[in-house]
Amino acid sequence: MGRGDEHAPAAEDRHRSAVLGFELHLAALRDPALRALTQQWTGSGRAVLARFTGPETAARLDALLEGLIMHALLSTDAVPREETRAAITQTLGPETAPGT
């Protein structure tokens, strides 16, 4: 393996998981019976975030992360980490931002 290749399987798994998550959400748009599952999925993720940020910030951060991930999946260009970090820091606010 070349330099950085050791992370390729994990990156592929994260990509596949993200794609499946969005496919589930899209399926729930068409099939209301799936909406309870997507609400549970979203609620579980927000509960983890809320342990560190509180429920209101967790909801905002979850929405931001979903948007950032969707844009990253659809983009042909990589988004600079600095831009992603700045968006997260702005959403978290000064008291809960990473490194504070």
pLDDT in tens, 54-75: 999 999 999 999 999 999 999 9
Element (H, E) at 44: helix 35-53
Per-residue confidence (pLDDT) for residue 1, from 0 to 100 = 43
The whole-chain average pLDDT of the chain stands at: 87
Global confidence as pTM: 0.76
pLDDT category of residue 93 using cuts at 50, 70 and 90: confident
75-96 in b/e form (b: 16+ CB < 10 A) is eeeeeeeeeeeebeeebbeeee
pLDDT of residue 2: 46
